[in-house]
Structure 1
Amino acid sequence: MAVIESVTLHPYVLPLTSPVDLGGFRLSVRKGCLVRVRMRQGSAHTSGLGDIAPLPHFSRESLSDAREAVEAQIPNLVGRELPASPSLRDLDRVIAEDAGECPSAQFGLEQALTTAIARHAGVPLSKWLSETARDRVPLNALLTGTPDEIVAAGVDLDVGEYGYRAVKIKVGRHDPAEEAAAVRHLHGVWGGDVDIRLDANRAWSRADAEGFVAALNDTPIAYIEEPLTEASDLRRWAGKTGVPVALDETTRELSVEELARQTFAAAFVIKPSLLGFYRTLDLAREVASAGVDLVITSAYESGIGLAGLAALATAIGTRPIPAGLDTYQRLSRDVVEARLPIGGPSIHVSALWEALPSDL
């Protein structure tokens, strides 16, 4: 049997290279907490690290809420026995009994526990999650700022066969006609080599959203994430306009079963660190046959958190879908001393696993 010997928390504060606009809230530092799970099986010890990083104005819980949720679980976790070769179902029961309502705490605990088990098994986390896990995860580039800034950055972006195959552009922050013009311009530069993903973060009324779509002038896009302020109108709006839409904020508001029924969407944009590690795997199983893509996306986590997201991205689905994990460059420093090999246009997951510290 394996025994959980200790669960410890290690807070961090990471400055960003420049402030990030989160729909009117400016984030200049990323605060979070690493959770370390240490296990013993016979005379062998292994440790796993997870990242607890609720995102201000997006997560329903604060960082202090998440820490308290983990601290409340520690007495029930320490000394807990697990099967010698536990399954995901075994681990799910360990956390779920005391999980509470803090998805970011669940993610960190679940990542740390599963990582410790994978290290004991002697395999990368991605391969422990799925024997058919891919070794690379392609990334989408992220463009934000004014329309002029987006165009300037997009023109210089390395795209195509050996570069980024998908680019996410933040819209809904400036004049819709100017934003649409920027998207049209970049499509003209990139041609058909790039899937254009747009993210409005529920910025528009139906009229504004339809005006933006009209201004795109039939420019092909992969989808728009959550264009409407009133999320309940999204299914009807998508059916009326024929515009592919993706769900982002909605994925944190519905249960896995409810979300799996939203098959009108072209994609679910999933932030596992705000949803839960195991809940993301549950969702992947639920939508496997529904024809909806799962796009794994970061929320400016530390390198430890991003490594967990990369493992998830390669372990789910049957084909490589560009993930929104290109945020590591926005951290001016990390929780680990040496920078990890995280960056576009793709992440080599085995190399990242080898570079990860096994303990603090």
Structure 2
Amino acid sequence: MNIDFSPEELAFQQEVREWFAQNLPADLKRKTELGIMLSKDELVAWQRILNGRGWLVTGWPKEYGGPDWTATQRYIFDMERARANAPIGLSMGIIMLGPVLMAFGTQEQKDYYLPRIRNCDDWWCQGYSEPGAGSDLASLKTMAVSDGDDYIVNGSKIWTTYGHWANRIFCLVRTSTEGKKQEGISFLLIDMDTPGIEVRPIISIDGEHHLNETFFTDVRVPKKNLVGKEGQGWTVAKYLLTHERTTIAGVADSKVHMTNLKRMARENGANGEPLMNDPNLRQKLAKAEINLTALEYTNLRTLAATAAGKAPGPESSLLKLDGTAVQQELSELGVELAGQYAWPWKAEGEVGPAEYASTMMRYAFTRAATIYGGSDEVQKNVIAKMILGLNFK
């Protein structure tokens, strides 16, 4: 695999770098740099700027409004986006649901929903996990019972990220209890304003409101909102998760985090010396960078396969597994570098360098990275079965 950029790709990289420098609002750049949570309005406004340039749905085919980039161009764009400290954006609609609708949706669903995702008219959230069906997702119990042209949905979902901001949810529901539990699952699109839906907040360990519980009580959903065939939800869900897990790896943002950690170690000190002079810290930074480099090359191999026409497959579990481990490793180093400046929790005014203000909150929330999107144990099972060909009884 040749990882050298061509002259055309280098020119594209420069174009993207200059565009971010000219178009990224300074306040969004600073908030992203410091790890401050953005509001819904800020994220939507930024994504509409990207969409105006044609650079929002970078992984979509041209026929659906994508820029028709190669896998290498998408890689370059994400690296430059992270380098510029630009927000990632709304992954639920763009990275997860969009590809699902292209692969399984009706023409009517594509014509209606895809432009609305691209224009940020809809904010989607994900209805997968339940209190008793997280890592064992196939055990979900939320029921959708046929009633004429509609389904009547009852049940609950948990960890609904930004469900309090969303106007729509894509949801796994049980439409049959016959046969294997995976065979009775279907994939529904639901309007969050439908009577019978209640969203309750979950305040996460970082003190922010990202997450929610979502309850469905006799929620009426038109059958035209079924994606794929009834009972095909497990297949649709697995397809979506390969896109989610590839994204969760977060290579571009981890590279920027690594660069910032090394800079902080050089610029900040203890006992009159730069922190970088500590041999133990240097060894930890070197180990983290080696792990990140290995992750990046795994990501590049996946990109090469994608460029050859292969859809994301079980290899995405490798990216998710190693990517989240690297994120946790870097967040731990951030706390070690910050030292006593990591102790204050959302202090009034700055305590020490501003870049340390969100260090502990970032560390705390990143503890969940090896759980969401499929726990480490789930990913290892996928790798063992689908890549190594091992059988379990």
- Tell whether the structures are fold-level matches, with TM greater than 0.5: no
More strand by share: 1
Give the TM-score normalised by the residue count of structure 2: 0.26
Point out the structure with max Rg over C-alpha.
2
Give the TM-score normalised by the residue count of structure 1: 0.27
